[in-house]
Amino acid sequence: MQTNLFTLPVSLEQIAVLIKRMDPQDRQRLLAMVPELVTDAIKREKLLKDADQTVGDLRQELLDELGGQPLSPDEPFLGGFTLGQYLELSEVERAKLWDEWGGIDLEDIEKVEILPNMLLDDEQTT
């Protein structure tokens, strides 16, 4: 005897609504049945924590390279933006710009003159 199984399309949004309506005990049962949800969440949290640490380390290294003086918002940046203008953009706008800039040949980028006082102390000549 063959059993026919009919499946109905269910969206992730519908599943999310259902999970939100669950009581804590049912959520715990769900996590026990699908342990990948827990491991994925832990991996994601660790990845975000590691990324935050890396960004913090890079910021500190750059600040050290600049002799402890952060760049002025008026500093020229890429694409005709100043650093301040770039930092005021939303994450979506920044992502679009980086997608555009990713296709640009570095040789085509406008060269900007750098003031001598922008060099590191050990690179300056007396």
pLDDT, tens digit, 9 for 90 and up, residues 39-87: 999 999 999 999 999 999 998 998 898 888 888 889 888 888 898 999 9
Indicate the number of domains in the chain.
Answer: 2
Q: Which of 25, 46, 70 is the last residue of a domain?
A: 70
Kindly indicate the confidence band of residue 124, based on its pLDDT and cuts at 50, 70 and 90. very low
- Taking a C-beta distance cutoff of 8 angstroms, is the pair 83, 74 a contact? yes
Percent of the chain with pLDDT over 90: 48
- Taking a C-beta distance cutoff of 8 angstroms, is the pair 38, 31 a contact? yes
Same domain, 87 and 51: no
What is the domain extent for residue 80? Answer: 71-126
pTM above 0.75, yes or no: no
pLDDT at 39: 94
Asked if residue 103 is part of any domain, the answer here is: yes
- Taking a C-beta distance cutoff of 8 angstroms, is the pair 74, 82 a contact? yes
Same domain, 19 and 40: yes
- Taking a C-beta distance cutoff of 8 angstroms, is the pair 51, 40 a contact? no
